[in-house]
Amino acid sequence: MKDIRKKIIIDTDIGDDIDDAMALVYALASGRFEVIGVTTVFKDTVKRARIAKALVKRANVTVPVYAGYGMPLSGVIPESQEINQFRPEMEGPDFAPENPEPEAAVNFITESCRRYGKDLIVLAVGPLGNIARAVLSAPDITENLNPVIMGGCFNSDVHEWNIFCDPEAASVVFEKMHLKTVGVEITSQTRLDKKLCEIVQSPRDGLLGLLSDLTGMWRKAHEERFPTLHDVLALATIVMPELCEWESTGAFVNIEKHGVTEKTEGDNITYAVSVKKQLFFEEFFKIYSKIS
């Protein structure tokens, strides 16, 4: 039988905000995606890869995890290297990335794009350092690499975090390719309330048990705030584009304004202009309740 799952690579800054871990769990366990691999980006990418690997192992699947570039394209080292969801047991040899050289992550993206062509979606839910380096080193992949990203803000001058952390990389990506993005003005509408957060944090075993623990660690580091599912929404739109309404525009990253995304003439950026929040939550928790 033909595998109808979407082939994806997830390029992630897992370990800072908690929604990256939630998106990875959803991708690994929903039955809707074939995760070809995971690449990590920004700051301590090896630690991030170890967190991702812990989730992959709990999901009982074989998915390669590569530690990509921690350094933004500008070469300016980020101030803090702290990662809030790292547990001591993740130091063990079982959780090491496939290859700790950042170039290996970029090569993995490049080779996968060439191998799978338009059958592969690259989901970028962190700063865009790996994707930009892939495009700069292998311009031929731009034809097929049409990433789905969580990033930017298209209705005001707000700095969206992923673009802000590596505006030079985002500028390359926005300039050189067709992409689909869900900006922060849309994803910020998907914050969990107390009741939904309690479902995620309820004690259990297996994959959801680890996600519950990581959510607790993240909340402790963030004044017990409730998570917002930015990255999960971007992922979910790959299989349910109807979750959002979309418009097309050109856009550039204003580096002097530290990464504000400004609309311009053109149509290479497809961006979300609204979200059906209730439908999204229903879908997320429907899948969630089936994960063992």
Per CB under 5 A, residues contacting Ca ion are: 13, 20, 125-126, 231
Nearer to Ca ion, 137 or 210 (CB): 210
State the greatest distance between any 2 C-alpha atoms of the chain, in Å, as a whole number: 52
H or E segment and range at residue 209: helix 206-221
C-alpha–C-alpha distance, residues 86 and 226, integer Å: 19
Sequence letter at residue 175 = E
Nearer to Ca ion, 161 or 252 (CB): 161
**Least Cβ distance, residue 19 to Ca ion (angstroms):** 6
Nearer to Ca ion, 98 or 231 (CB): 231
**Least Cβ distance, residue 45 to Ca ion (angstroms):** 13
To which residue do tokens 């930015």 refer?
A: 230
**Least Cβ distance, residue 187 to Ca ion (angstroms):** 10
**Least Cβ distance, residue 161 to Ca ion (angstroms):** 8
Nearer to Ca ion, 23 or 145 (CB): 23
**Least Cβ distance, residue 167 to Ca ion (angstroms):** 16
Sequence letter at residue 229 = L
Kindly give, in sequence order, each residue whose CB lies less than 8 Å from that of residue 218, ignoring residues fewer than 6 positions away.
17, 18, 84, 85, 227
H or E segment and range at residue 112: helix 102-116
C-alpha–C-alpha distance, residues 258 and 202, integer Å: 39
**Least Cβ distance, residue 146 to Ca ion (angstroms):** 19
C-alpha–C-alpha distance, residues 2 and 250, integer Å: 36
Nearer to Ca ion, 13 or 98 (CB): 13
Nearer to Ca ion, 159 or 263 (CB): 159
C-alpha–C-alpha distance, residues 155 and 161, integer Å: 15
C-alpha–C-alpha distance, residues 181 and 253, integer Å: 14
User: Which two structure tokens, joined as six digits, stand for 146?
Assistant: 């049409």
Nearer to Ca ion, 125 or 186 (CB): 125
**Least Cβ distance, residue 125 to Ca ion (angstroms):** 4
C-alpha–C-alpha distance, residues 73 and 54, integer Å: 28
C-alpha–C-alpha distance, residues 18 and 9, integer Å: 19
